[in-house]
Amino acid sequence: MICQKLSDLSESDQKKLLSRNTALSDVEASVDAILKNVRENGDAAILDYAEKFDKAKLSALLVSQKEIEDGVSGLSPELLAHLQKAADNIRKFHEAQLPKELWVENTKGILLGQKPVPLARVGCYVPGGRASYPSTVLMTAIPAKAAGVGEIIVCTPARSDGTVHPLTLAASKIAGVDKIFKTGGAQAIAAMAYGTESIPQVDKIVGPGNVYVTAAKMKVRDFAEIDFPAGPSEVLIIADDFANPKMAAADILAQAEHDPNSVSVLVTPSDAFAKAVMNEVDSQKKTAKRKEIIDAALLNSAVLITKDLDECVSFSNKFGPEHLQIMVDPKLEDAVLSKIKNAGSIFVGNYAPVPAGDYASGTNHVLPTSGYVRMYSGLNTAHFLKFMTVQKISKEGLSNIKDTVIALAEEEGLFEHAEAVRKRFE
């Protein structure tokens, strides 16, 4: 893990930090082959990949109602209550995001409107692999449900015994998921985009995943829209001497345990704080349960010392983090926050760690990574809606813009456009 002044950071190290080492081109050939196979062979290809990648020999892709009930029945009531509490907070926040129908009369006799309409069917990708992510079910399915999506499906890898993790099943039930399918990776994205004998084609695919999943999502957009590229997790922390180095180190390790390609960056104007955090990272990781993953992720990570907080903010905006933590003197929090232009989700204060948003505060944890926050927003209710414009025009209203429409249409050489208006007044 690098610890040095930002001004001394080599060009290659800065490029490594900013690129996140997630080049989609590295897996393009493999992903293309998977997409082609699934498109041509449907369920047969999916079943083969389940055995090859997940070591699961499946007889069916759809999770049965009995499997769901059996899985959920084995969970403790206390754990289910925690899952329900998280779901309630997520639902409240995303229902508050729902847009209302818009009507405006900017010219007398012309009433303009915007009508939000939910998508018919959405596919939620929920990673499996190194860990189970029932929280991702809540984060993807609950906003879709709040938006009024007609059908919500989940695709998630099966475990080697052919089952889906019980918490994923419970989260799906709580979130109102209609169907769950046992498939992961690029093949799951292909199945949702093209449709197979068992898995229906969806209008939109949402959810995070590894570089194969992200590459597949980017390639199927002619068949299904996607939310945005969402790869390995990342955090950038802006901190001064007010922050607690033990907390900051814990936050770095929390992101690092996600994936060997995860990135954690701390920027601070305090040399003493930087050193204290480095010492805490070394101390805390000794007892970490996912130490091998953390050690790999820390090779992608850095503690950078700046000349002041403004330079911290400038670097953060250039980096464009998925998660941004602001751990500074409370009197400076709003000033720092006001200067942030690029971030997926922002956590302000010593007691606002990223895991709060990952699970239970209510905001969404499905966020753009690798700098895509420059152009994409994190997952929200609007991702599951289309917006249709409406215009109600009276004769008086058309009369008020008649000359403008005719003049512009004829200037563009579209004379029948002009006639379509002119004939209404003959």
pLDDT digits (tens, 9 = 90+) for 85-101: 999 999 999 999 999 88
User: Does 258 show up as a binding residue in the annotation?
Assistant: yes
pLDDT digits (tens, 9 = 90+) for 249-306: 999 999 999 888 899 999 999 999 999 999 999 999 999 999 999 999 999 999 999 9
Tell me the whole-structure pTM to 2 decimals.
0.92
| Residues facing residue 391 across a β-bridge | 112
pLDDT digits (tens, 9 = 90+) for 388-418: 999 999 999 999 999 999 999 999 999 999 9
User: Does 114 show up as a binding residue in the annotation?
Assistant: no
Give the amino acid at 254: A
pLDDT digits (tens, 9 = 90+) for 156-171: 999 999 999 999 999 9
pLDDT band at residue 353 under the 50/70/90 scheme: very high
User: Does 210 show up as a binding residue in the annotation?
Assistant: yes
Q: Is the pLDDT of residue 74 over 60?
A: yes
User: Does 261 show up as a binding residue in the annotation?
Assistant: no
Q: Which of 234, 257, 280, 322 is catalytic?
A: 322
User: In the prediction, which pLDDT does 19 show?
Assistant: 81
Q: Which of 234, 257, 280, 323 is catalytic?
A: 323
CATH of the domain spanning 25-226, picked from 3.40.50.2300, 3.40.50.1980, 3.30.450.40, 3.40.50.620: 3.40.50.1980
Catalytic annotation on 165?
A: no
- Spans of all domains in the chain: 2-22+232-362, 25-226, 394-425
User: Does 255 show up as a binding residue in the annotation?
Assistant: yes
**Hey, CA dihedral for 72, 73, 79, 81, is it positive or negative?**
positive
User: In the prediction, which pLDDT does 22 show?
Assistant: 61
Tell me yes or no: is domain 2-22+232-362 CATH 3.40.50.970. Answer: no
The burial class, CB within 10 Å (0-12 / 13-18 / 19+), for 215 is buried
Report the range of poorest mean pLDDT among 129-143, 214-228, 366-380, 397-411.
129-143
pLDDT digits (tens, 9 = 90+) for 222-246: 999 999 988 788 999 999 999 999 9
User: Does 383 show up as a binding residue in the annotation?
Assistant: no
Report whether 42 contacts 188 (CB < 8 A). Answer: no
Catalytic annotation on 94?
A: no
User: In the prediction, which pLDDT does 129 show?
Assistant: 59
User: Does 358 show up as a binding residue in the annotation?
Assistant: yes
For the chain, the residue count is 426
User: In the prediction, which pLDDT does 16 show?
Assistant: 82
User: In the prediction, which pLDDT does 21 show?
Assistant: 59
Paired tokens of 221: 């957009």
Domains 2-22+232-362 and 25-226 share a fold: yes
User: In the prediction, which pLDDT does 130 show?
Assistant: 55
User: Does 271 show up as a binding residue in the annotation?
Assistant: no
pLDDT band at residue 213 under the 50/70/90 scheme: very high
Report whether 302 contacts 261 (CB < 8 A). Answer: no
Q: Could you tell me the strand order of the sheet in which 179-182 lies?
A: 179-182, 151-156, 121-125, 204-206, 225-226
